[in-house]
Structure 1
Amino acid sequence: MLTVRDLPAFPELGITACHVGDDREVQSAQVLSDTDWIRSNIAHALIVTHSRYLEDAERIMFTLSAGGAAALVVSGASADTLDPALRDTAAQHRLPLLTTSHSLSDWKALLTHRVSELCVTAARRHAARLGTLLDQLAHPRADTVTGVVEYLAEELPGSVVVRDAGGVRAAAPPAAPVTLAAALEHPDQPRQALDGLHVTSVPLGAHGALVVGTPGPLGQAGTELTTCAAKVLTVALPGGQRSDDLVVSDAVRQVRLSAFQLLMTGHAVDAQRVTASIMPGLLDPTHAQVYVADCGRAGRALVMAQADRLFAGQALTVACPAFDNHIISVVPLVEEQEHEHTVRHLLEVFRTAGVHIGGSQPHELKAVGDAYDEALAALTRASHYPERIVIASPRPPGLADVLPAGPARSWATALLQPILSTARIRQLELTAMALEFRTTAASKVLGMHRNTLARRVAQTCGAVGLDPERAMHRIALSLAIQVVRMHGTGSAAESGPPATLHDLLTGQEVRAWADKTLRPLATDRRDLVRTLRAWVTCEFHVDQAAARVGIAPKTVRAHIQAAEHLLERDFITGIPQDLMEDHGEHRLSGIRPLTCAMYATTPPGEPYPALTTVGRAPRPANASPWPAEVS
């Protein structure tokens, strides 16, 4: 992870530390000027501003400190010329204070994106460092304890000693016991200052300790690395217990989560490298299935421990970072290995605890994001089935499959033209994933800061003239990206004006697909089509749809949930209440086909959903059409 103390090491940022104090993690950067305000979400963010905007420094410092900002970075001043009162105010609020030699315009144009890139790189390195430590257990050497100590001394860097009941067990460098002699006499003190060294002591069982001395206090990344080393040493030391039935350590979980998030963003090779030390060869197969389990009343830790035991190293299982009661298992597919019986066994173990599971179809390893989406949709239906498990059916032809290839490619290319010259297909796919939720869920699942993800979507939409706050615009953008994935892009040599989305959705093939898609709704005695058409036309505002149809909002929600069951789609049900927004409680993968089907079947004389009324805002000549690559 990237921390405040790391920043001066990157000359392109031009940062000098004035007052740091406790080290803090950095996840993003924001600019504060006369046209930029302090945003609601500033946790772990660098706030970059000019001294002229700090007239009310006390209020600003209080706001940043309360919001958990990483640091305040002042442009237009050096460490020597910075107002002493500003230093005092920062120290009072325990807020790290930095200066930068770059202007605010440089930060807006380039450096905020550079900070995001550095965050991703640091996170990957941190996961690799933890993985290397765990490799000491996966591939034990003649003296694993010495190996861990030498590795930790090199990575921090510093002096490291392991002390047990018999005295010094291992040390690096060899003179470390002399350097840390005074601290070794009192290993029960977690923090000490010793001859210019900052000493940290972590207990190892009843009579042991890991003692670390570094020139400066450990930052967050160094502290986590030291804690992970202590856990490894606890197992490696004589008498340490190791049981496959125990819940895996926090360090292993962090490495697994890093690998899962890399898979979600299409970085299969990076995920293979991260897991190589703890689960060698697991991600070598080309295809995998994903299972998502809702742990019901059993408790996530207990279900996860049982899943680890049953899969016996044949699956990558993680605690879902977005939904507190979910666990996710990525199961690589190997010939002659059948995993569905393992999943059903897991259900049998917790048959009275309300556990239920959704599973995907097999997907390529680089398409784990699509498999997760399928499994999450299946999970919504699983709670209504007596077996408590639903495996997604082979995907029926979707809208993108029935659109005429030539006209669809023409329309998508015209819409995405401002970004196609600079965007790779994988960047477009990541944006499409980010569009799925209007909440923090997407950022947690993808392992990216919410601000970074929101900026990606906003900049992409702005470049093509769409409004990211409009659900219809998000649907149009995600559909265009689907078309480009399936059919590629058109060329300037193609004759005639580009097709419109209206032309595509009113064609004969799409009309036939829409009739078939909506046909299950006719089995319900309620007029579900009328309610859903109003909901779509009102851009998914339940209260407006209720007023339009003349029924209660509660009835509108009941009709939507009934339609979910009949169409086997997830519109609003599978989203926890704490992740809902006032009028955004929907999943794009569900409402996208519904919206297009309603558009294609619009009765004569009734208004079409506002799907094609997309304005195209002119982009400034000096603006970047695509957000910087951050993952």
Structure 2
Amino acid sequence: MPTLGLLPTDKPELELTFVESGSRRAQTTEINGVVTMTPEQLLEGGVPSTLPDGSLVLITGASPFRLRGRITTVLELLLQRMSQDGSAGLAVTAAPGARQPFPPAVVDRAARLGIALLITSAPAERWEGMHEKIQQARLMFAERRAAQLSSLVMELPAQLADARAMQRIADWLARVLDCQVLVSEPERVLAASPATAAEQLAQAIIRQSVDGILPETLSGPHTQLISLTPASAADTVLAVLRRTPFDEADLRLLRHAAKLLGLVDQAHREYRAASGASHAARSAAWELLLDGEVEKARRVMANLAPGLLEPETTRVFVVETPQAGRDLAARSFSSSVGQQALVVPDPRDDRRILIVHPIRSDDDTGAEVSAELTRLVGSLEPPSSLGGSGVYSMTLLADALNEAITAQRFAAFQPDSVALSVHGSDLVSLLPQAEAQQWARRLLNPLMHDETQWESMRETLPAALAYPYTVAARRLRLHRNTVMRRASRAAELLRMDFASISDRIAVALAMELVTQREMSASPQLTGSEPPSLARLLGTPQVCAWAQTLVRPVQADRRDLVSTALAWLTFDTHVEPAARALGLSEVTVRSHLRALEGHMQRDLATLAGVRDLQFSLHVVTGQPDLRSDRPGLSVVAC
């Protein structure tokens, strides 16, 4: 943009100079055009009624002796009009080497009004067409500035979470103004372009911090400091340094960029606040689901993700990744599948991410989400692994989590680090289903005579067998005495002792077969002898499954099998098992942890203990199982 200060440099042929050393304001005054007139026109026609804003008024044909007398009064009136209309300056032609042509009264008047006075020794013909050239320069400058502002706006982020937006604007500013750019807070650098800008601008930032003053004018040689958050307590600063001075156009562009940087900074702060609230809500919902408080979890998520937790069934996935990248990975997972699943960094393990994927229909297997999770895990820094559960009732999310954790541990040893579900190698899936249904229904027949009684048993027994009665009552939203009374009644009708781990396992297996894995056409009980549990476990596929689980246990140099058998014999009580083995309780617990690692089963769950008991029995013939017929046992593989 042409200015009074730049015009003499850009157009030396005009031989234009200031009458007195031009002030900074005069130097940066923009010129929008040139208005030419003669002393005769001023004397005869008087001062024009209006002058174009930003115009340089040029009086041609003047000489020192002609700017005296009556024209002095006209010049003072002209200066008054120029001041009112925002003219850039007043210039007159003079012969080379002529003395200053303006009378002292005019010079004083111009100084009071802030109008720059200039002289030119160039002939009038050199000024011809200057107005059009200035207009063309202004048009080119406007087009260039529009393109710059358009490109600046293009650097704005499409999403508030775009962490690179501020750096892109800093890079753009450094490129357009050929300068070094630093955006910083007192505690950290937010963006720097080039990367060494922080070192170059440190002195200006320190000076501002020590002096407590944040100037928006030059604070050093060609340095600018601009607050991005002047109205808030946050002290984010844009610092810019370059070798050449900033003109007014550069400063305006800089202020535009600062406004956008301020908006991005504010958006990031608000996003972090909203993200923090969202994270807290999701974490609370997860804890409620883990405790079986499904309705409360749904209320927590109602506004954040309406309908997400409404389905009655779910799958759970567990991702383990290096601690340093866990939170970033969690954000990536949430961005990708957050509309379909609840993604929560595990509050108990800083390497783990938990994903709850509600299953909306019988046809929905969660394949789309699991495929996306597999892709995302493949892009994470190794070692990272993914485990998943089968489909569980939402109220049994804790069980689904245990299965997913087991799968994730198994996945860590797989070539692709993924085990989407252990359901395919689950014992219940390997049993001959029709025969298993017959066995289960015969075992549970005493509970199924009365329909009302059976409904209460269906609701209560799975949890009462798997958990202490207090925990089961909380999960079922029943009183502890109700759970205890129903469990006692079931044990009495079945002629079993639920203090025995074998009895609990047998009944829990039968309940699972009848209530969760019921066949579309349930087999009817016949008068013939139904299959026994021993026969169900004697199939080749169960034998192969058991050998796979037990093989690493037998390979351990410690006698883990003896520890496991003693622990099961004493109904999973460590103290008597330790006494019988002649070992310390610490050693027994250490052996149990080793068993969990080898078998990839959680021995804190009834399903994990069941797999341990059945696999050991199939492979070694021990321990004895609750048998449907005395003396019947499984032949060891």
Larger CA Rg, structure 1 vs 2: 2
Larger RCO of the pair (alpha carbons < 8 Å, separation 6+): 1
TM-score (norm 1): 0.42
TM-score by length of 2: 0.42
